[in-house]
Amino acid sequence: MEGFLLFNSYKMEESITELAFSLNTAWVLICAFLVFFMQAGFGMLEAGFTRAKSAVSVLMKNLMDLSFGVIGFFFIGYALMFGEGNAFIGQHGFELLNLPPETAGIATGAFFLFQAAFAATAATIVAGAVAERTKFLTYIVLSFLITAFIYPVVGHWVWGGGWLAAKGFVDFAGSTVVHSVGGWVALIGAILVGPRLGRFNLKKKKDFTGHSIPLATLGVFILWFGWYGFNSGSQLAIASSADTAAVSLIAMNTTLAAAVGGIVAMVLVWILTSKPQAGPTLNGVLGGLVAITAGCASVSPIGAMLIGAAGGVTVFFATVLLEKLQIDDAVGAFPVHGACGMLGTLAVGFFATDGGLFYGGGMKQLGIQALGVVAVAAWVFVTAIPVLLILKKIFGLRVSRVSEETGLDAHKHGVSAYPDFNLEGVK
Amino acid sequence: MEGFLLFNSYKMEESITELAFSLNTAWVLICAFLVFFMQAGFGMLEAGFTRAKSAVSVLMKNLMDLSFGVIGFFFIGYALMFGEGNAFIGQHGFELLNLPPETAGIATGAFFLFQAAFAATAATIVAGAVAERTKFLTYIVLSFLITAFIYPVVGHWVWGGGWLAAKGFVDFAGSTVVHSVGGWVALIGAILVGPRLGRFNLKKKKDFTGHSIPLATLGVFILWFGWYGFNSGSQLAIASSADTAAVSLIAMNTTLAAAVGGIVAMVLVWILTSKPQAGPTLNGVLGGLVAITAGCASVSPIGAMLIGAAGGVTVFFATVLLEKLQIDDAVGAFPVHGACGMLGTLAVGFFATDGGLFYGGGMKQLGIQALGVVAVAAWVFVTAIPVLLILKKIFGLRVSRVSEETGLDAHKHGVSAYPDFNLEGVK
Amino acid sequence: MEGFLLFNSYKMEESITELAFSLNTAWVLICAFLVFFMQAGFGMLEAGFTRAKSAVSVLMKNLMDLSFGVIGFFFIGYALMFGEGNAFIGQHGFELLNLPPETAGIATGAFFLFQAAFAATAATIVAGAVAERTKFLTYIVLSFLITAFIYPVVGHWVWGGGWLAAKGFVDFAGSTVVHSVGGWVALIGAILVGPRLGRFNLKKKKDFTGHSIPLATLGVFILWFGWYGFNSGSQLAIASSADTAAVSLIAMNTTLAAAVGGIVAMVLVWILTSKPQAGPTLNGVLGGLVAITAGCASVSPIGAMLIGAAGGVTVFFATVLLEKLQIDDAVGAFPVHGACGMLGTLAVGFFATDGGLFYGGGMKQLGIQALGVVAVAAWVFVTAIPVLLILKKIFGLRVSRVSEETGLDAHKHGVSAYPDFNLEGVK
């Protein structure tokens, strides 16, 4: 009898462990689905924030960076990021071969999928910045290289057991790993490709306002929704009280930072221009979301609101700065993802807490955070600049003047986004 | 050996309980995400159902009632609704301080998030009714007050252990608590702000049709999707066979009521105008969804269809009635949320069942349901009217005639929703 | 003491089983919600791919095939598909009466809901093919008959224990059961209703390009998102390591096939027309998704990419073929769902594996797959053709020439989809 009970007891323990494993995997899968859906958000946001004559071109870039992104991450990126290797780069698991069935406490396939969605996010950030004048093929190759190489190396440093992880760098869901990487490539791309024709030509001041605020707003709502998967899924577990508490705090912090980011940006633009403008407000929400991404698991709700507020301010002034510098980032990708990504990463040093407020990790943690921010920026510069210069030689970065004036949609993709509508300024 | 087995047995029991707790929390979190996503649905619906020249203004109101809504609910609303207190109002838990880690069988953070999404839903219902002529600042302050005060008090009565709960009032997912509250404020707002210029001027009959049926339809599909979270999440549990049966029935009833609501409204408008019009049909779907919200856990599928059908009829005739009364509810917020919210709450008295059909709780239950409906309406009247009158004194309710004619987007938000398109009737 | 432990042990075993049951049910419910959300994707895709003057009509058809679809499946379809019966058809469970509380290891209500969402998917595929000229009432009756009769019979053959299941036919998530059925009805409908006026009139070559590529792209992103529910949910379980591995592989394969389908279709149209066109690329993504649906649980990731690639190629050439044959399938419903549905079903014979690549089931399995494909096609032909011919007699299939020229929206639904915009070619 005792033997039976003992056997039974072992079997049940195993069943319980298996159930927890299954619940964790299910959670990460659902979150991965949400992160993939963010691509719809990016697509609508970026199309909405650019001109009608380039909408197809923007959307095709979004769809293709996702498509090439998952392929690049499957064959190469995952291995560089999570494969065994050294402090700098992983070297095993190309094509997902020879992997154990379980990774980080969940099914390996689910872990891969979640990470692939992240990689595609890093890549797609670039699309908006360089919109309306960048060559399609060049963009596709760049996307592939981001997910296959540039992003995974940073990922290895922080999440794959690399040197930044060893130093104690904290970036819970990727303010730096995902958003800053995308943001820096976006900035470099916007500079190297150059501004859209007429964008900073004061004589012929043309309106470069986004062509559909409803689509852009939809994009922000979808991104907000998907961000629950992005941040909450990064816990990679939910099957214990500790994990439920962590995930709930993460989701709450994400919500509060988004709300405050939008409010602060709106108030700011309202005060400075006497109009509560939609564009800056929408980007303020996103700035709050990007900023809370690094610290969502380690700050208090009040800390999250302060980080969100800082995100709203940062996104606003970074946008002004780029305009001053005559850098044409068509949708504000660098202000949102680059600037707020850095901000959020540094904020972990100030706001991380064990329940109280303003505890933080002290100056030492702040130093580590700053080191990570700088190192990642440096890495993106030394990889993305050569890549773009080589691509410039091979394919060129920029479409012809005629293409750009006519609109990339009609000239390059053979179709208008809105053939039944009379568009202004489109021939 | 026996001691070991006993210890193990206790430990395993604990693990099983913890797993159930985790699964329940995960379920409510996912549902909370879906309810937040409903904001995208409201945004698209309300923008689509109003004119192109006000689309930005409508969307900004949506985004801001969500943003201020979660802040208001975090600092004040949650405490008034769920904090310990008396039969009328809660008094503890401001800023979520001093709360236990567990509430209603799930992690407190998850419970808060789900409830915050509900509060934001109540607030956002108003945006559509008063669209295209209401002052932005006034609207924001009103939103904040709804989620911080008006809504939570009702919530306390019904879901926070207040006097209506004690009487046996049944409103499972909030036909009255959420939708009627929003609907009544919408009606009061529409009346006090007054109709849009030209709306009831027979000489200059202008077209006030929504400017984008595709966006409005998208909104309805998103709301339908989000409603699964709204209703199914309200069970607050799924980790037992009884809970899975309940949640499955809820989701099924939600689906059937939505479908029948749309069908009945469409047939009605088809018969009466000889055209199956999109607007009334879309609102019929929403009417079915609002109506089933109170009773989704306690009626049979056939009951759900009947309630959905009643919702479709109600939304149609309530719309006609408002038009007769020359009350300009721009998107039909009161017919959908107010009228069908009442209907659904009363319907619980008729259709609630223990498996059979038409059992109901008898006249007594019906009386309690009616009492709740009336009490909530009275509460909203005695709070929202003074609030709006005070706001009128301080900020004014309505934009200037010039603003309204030009369009709030261009005049107040400094941008057109569609700058690349030639819009009719927009200067 | 031993008795206590034994009792406890039994109780705990039961609790563990119940938890697994609950997690499985929760998983299927979430997936069902995602599949219902695909209706938004179909709506946006089909509206975006047709002309602005018919957008309302397309969307109303989508909304109504969903609404009548779930009703038809509730009262009749479910019983024919899953009720006890013979090898050809089920005969019990009409109106869901007298069903056990548990089906296929989950709560029956959840199982029904998931299946109802599938039935509505099969129906809605038709809407796009026959868009812009089909009578509304005729379409509604057809939709009802698909979900109440045509689809469930096929479903019974394959998933309800019918004769194809007995033969070993493999169609994991419905390349044939759902997509081919919808695709064949779409093709038959497109042929019987005839092409839109001017579609193949070479003298008056009119532009029949979709009126909103952003909406269509949004539709594809939503469908991609919903497909995770469609394919992953079809495992009907996730509460064991084996199930998590299966579901993870399914989701991964779905992603890779979608990505490669889009890439291959884009490369193809780029090479052949020198322009990376949006329409064919978007349909390529969908072709990849449809193609992987049958084999997503039984092929390797590389197999999934090859199947996705084949889907991208198939959708492209099937579209060209229909155009050659002057069959006007307005959105490419047959190429996507019919042709790729068949392809994906046959591909299981080539690519199914037990871990290795290209193992397949040999010629015998291929033969069984082909038999299923042919039998289902035959069934749809012998049911849909008579149904449509009878409907033609009773209601007519096609609107009047005036209606079609004016646009179904203005003429039949009493409203324009975009009243504030100047539309070209719309009077």
**A16 contacts in B (CB within 8 Å)?**
12, 15-16, 19
Which tens digit of pLDDT belongs to each residue from A386-415? 999 999 999 999 999 999 999 999 889 988
Check CB contact under 8 Å for B263 and C67. yes
* C29: nearest CB among B23, B217, B247: B247
Residue B410: pLDDT over 80: yes
| Res. A93 pLDDT band, cuts 50 70 90 | very high
In this predicted structure, what is the pLDDT of residue C116? 98
In this predicted structure, what is the pLDDT of residue C305? 98
What backbone torsions phi and psi does residue A255 show, to the nearest 5 degrees? -65, -50
* B63: nearest CB among A51, A217, A244: A217
Q: Give B355: exposed, middle or buried? Use CB within 10 Å, 0-12, 13-18, 19+.
A: exposed
In this predicted structure, what is the pLDDT of residue A178? 98
ipTM of the complex: 0.97
* A421: nearest CB among C258, C301, C423: C423
| Res. B363 pLDDT band, cuts 50 70 90 | confident
The number of C-alpha atoms within 13 Å of C140 and in the hemisphere containing its C-beta is 16
B382 touches chain A (CB under 8 A): no
A301 touches chain B (CB under 8 A): yes
How does the average pLDDT of chain B come out, rounded?
Answer: 94
Residue B82: pLDDT over 60: yes
In this predicted structure, what is the pLDDT of residue C352? 76
More confident residue, A43 or A1: A43
* C66: nearest CB among B19, B259, B422: B259
> Count of CB contacts below 8 A, B vs C?
202
Check CB contact under 8 Å for B109 and A305. no
Cβ atoms within 10 A of the Cβ of A1, count?
A: 9
Chain C nearest C-alpha distance from A333 (Å): 20
Residue B427: pLDDT over 60: no
The number of C-alpha atoms within 13 Å of A61 and in the hemisphere containing its C-beta is 32
Question: What is the dihedral sign for C-alpha B166, B168, B173, B178?
Answer: negative
Residue B16: pLDDT over 90: yes
Check CB contact under 8 Å for A211 and B419. yes
The number of C-alpha atoms within 13 Å of B303 and in the hemisphere containing its C-beta is 27
Domain boundaries, given as residue ranges, for chain C: 2-91+109-413
In this predicted structure, what is the pLDDT of residue C167? 96
The C-alpha angle with vertex B80 and arms to B74 and B86, in degrees rounded to 5, equals 160
Which tens digit of pLDDT belongs to each residue from B187-205? 999 999 999 999 998 666 5
Domain B2-91+109-413 has CATH 1.10.3430.10: yes
Per-residue DSSP letter, C50: S
Chain A nearest C-alpha distance from C36 (Å): 15
Mutate to test the interface with B, among C61, C67, C95, C115 (most CBs of B within 10 A): C67
Alpha-helical (H) ranges within B49-135 are 55-72, 78-82, 108-129
Cα–Cα dist A151/A147, whole Å: 6
Which tens digit of pLDDT belongs to each residue from A239-277? 999 999 999 999 999 999 999 999 999 999 999 999 999
**Chain C residue with the nearest C-alpha to that of A66:** C259
- Who contacts C341 (Cβ-Cβ below 8 Å, separation ≥6)? C175, C176, C178, C179, C180, C183, C290, C291, C293, C294
**A69 contacts in C (CB within 8 Å)?**
259
Question: What is the dihedral sign for C-alpha A100, A105, A109, A112?
Answer: negative
Chain C nearest C-alpha distance from B182 (Å): 25
In this predicted structure, what is the pLDDT of residue A206? 60
Element at B103 (helix H, strand E)? strand B102-103
In this predicted structure, what is the pLDDT of residue A359? 47
C164, C348 in Cβ contact below 8 A? no
0.90 exceeded by pTM: yes
Q: Residue window 40-79, chain A: list those with CB within 8 Å of chain C.
A: 40, 43-44, 47-48, 55-56, 59-60, 62-64, 66-71, 74
**A420 contacts in B (CB within 8 Å)?**
none
What average pLDDT score do residues B254-264 get? 98
Give the residues of chain C that fall short of pLDDT 50. 355-359, 427
Cα–Cα dist C57/C410, whole Å: 9
Check CB contact under 8 Å for C305 and A71. yes
Cβ atoms within 10 A of the Cβ of C3, count?
A: 8
In this predicted structure, what is the pLDDT of residue A358? 44
Alpha-helical (H) ranges within C241-398 are 241-273, 278-293, 301-324, 333, 340-351, 362-394
Which tens digit of pLDDT belongs to each residue from B319-342? 999 999 999 999 999 999 999 999
The C-alpha angle with vertex B38 and arms to B303 and C290, in degrees rounded to 5, equals 85
Task: Say which range, A3-17, A108-122, A313-327, has the weakest mean pLDDT.
Answer: A3-17
SS3 assignment, position C173: coil
Check CB contact under 8 Å for A417 and C260. no
In this predicted structure, what is the pLDDT of residue B415? 87
C222 touches chain A (CB under 8 A): yes
* C30: nearest CB among B30, B249, B425: B30
Mutate to test the interface with C, among A10, A67, A118 (most CBs of C within 10 A): A67
Alpha-helical (H) ranges within C274-339 are 278-293, 301-324, 333
Q: Is residue C225 left, alpha or beta, with left meaning phi > 0 and alpha meaning psi from -120 to 50? A: alpha
> What percent of chain B is modeled with pLDDT above 90?
89
> Count of CB contacts below 8 A, A vs B?
201
Would you list the DSSP string of B281-334? HHHHHHHHHHHHHTTTTTS-HHHHHHHHHHHHHHHHHHHHHHHHTT---TT-HI
Which tens digit of pLDDT belongs to each residue from B269-320? 999 999 999 999 999 999 999 999 999 999 999 999 999 999 999 999 999 9
A2 touches chain C (CB under 8 A): yes
In this predicted structure, what is the pLDDT of residue C290? 98
* A212: nearest CB among B71, B412, B417: B417
Mutate to test the interface with C, among B207, B223, B243, B248 (most CBs of C within 10 A): B248
Q: Residue window 251-290, chain B: list those with CB within 8 Å of chain C.
A: 251-252, 255-256, 258-260, 262-263, 266, 273, 275-279, 281-282, 285
Residue B358: pLDDT over 80: no
In this predicted structure, what is the pLDDT of residue C240? 97
Check CB contact under 8 Å for C113 and B248. yes
Virtual torsion, Cα C186, C188, C193, C199, nearest 10 deg: 70
**B277 contacts in C (CB within 8 Å)?**
413-415
B141, B391 in Cβ contact below 8 A? yes
What backbone torsions phi and psi does residue C426 show, to the nearest 5 degrees? -115, 125
What tokens does C160 get?
């309800």
In this predicted structure, what is the pLDDT of residue B205? 55
Mutate to test the interface with C, among B49, B209, B217 (most CBs of C within 10 A): B217
Of the candidates C52, C50, C191, the residue with the CA atom closest to the CA atom of residue C128: C50
**Chain A residue with the nearest C-alpha to that of B37:** A225
Residue B231: pLDDT over 90: yes
**C25 contacts in B (CB within 8 Å)?**
238, 244, 247-248
Q: Residue window 108-167, chain C: list those with CB within 8 Å of chain B.
A: 108-110, 112-113, 116, 136
In this predicted structure, what is the pLDDT of residue B206? 61
**B281 contacts in C (CB within 8 Å)?**
60, 63
C422, B424 in Cβ contact below 8 A? yes
Cβ atoms within 10 A of the Cβ of C389, count?
A: 12
**Chain A residue with the nearest C-alpha to that of B28:** A248
Element at A315 (helix H, strand E)? helix A301-324
